[in-house]
Amino acid sequence: MWRAAAPTRTLAEEGRCADTRDCGEERGSRVSAMRVYLGADHAGYELKQAIIEHLSATGHEPVDCGAFSYDADDDYPAFCIAAAEKTVADPGSLGIVLGGSGNGEQIAANKVPGARCALAWSTETASLAREHNNAQLIGIGGRMHTTEEALAIVDAFVTTAWSEAPRHQRRIDILADYEKTHVAPPVPGA
């Protein structure tokens, strides 16, 4: 059975936050080994394989949700939805969806109730997706990055903790409420 490894480093130790209150450091936020669900179509297939190898080598537990072989005619929704469903059903896990640009893959993952998937195109956007949005998944464009760039984005995502800052939680709660009720929040000043 999977268990998170012992904590390794704080966000402040990594230089990710200027103010430890924004990082959740007062609660001792630390980053540990993660289970990571991955889904990719043909455009992200090769990069997914490299990410799986990298995650395993760095002590994480990658779970492949397909594609399981290269097929130039496959469609990303099935793989991305599978990765998102498994991530949402496994609290504390993360997910990565890959395709040509990461855009459609992110959209597909976000169709899963409870999923928060951000398009990550840099280490900073990957870190902020975790810190500010408590994103459980990121979309990465396989045709947009070198393998080295993509692995740096993945590392930033899996080693960054959710800040638990009240202002960020409030915003996530507003979105979760809308997802359940389909009633839009009032527009301030309108």
List the catalytic residues.
105, 132
Q: Contact 127/156 with Cβ under 8 angstroms?
A: yes
Burial of 75 per CB tally in 10 Å (0-12, 13-18, 19+): middle
92: number of Cβ within 10 Å:
11
Burial of 1 per CB tally in 10 Å (0-12, 13-18, 19+): exposed
For residue 48 the two structure tokens come to 């997914």
- Residues 53 and 64: their CA atoms lie apart, in Å, by 11
- Residues 56 and 58: their CA atoms lie apart, in Å, by 5
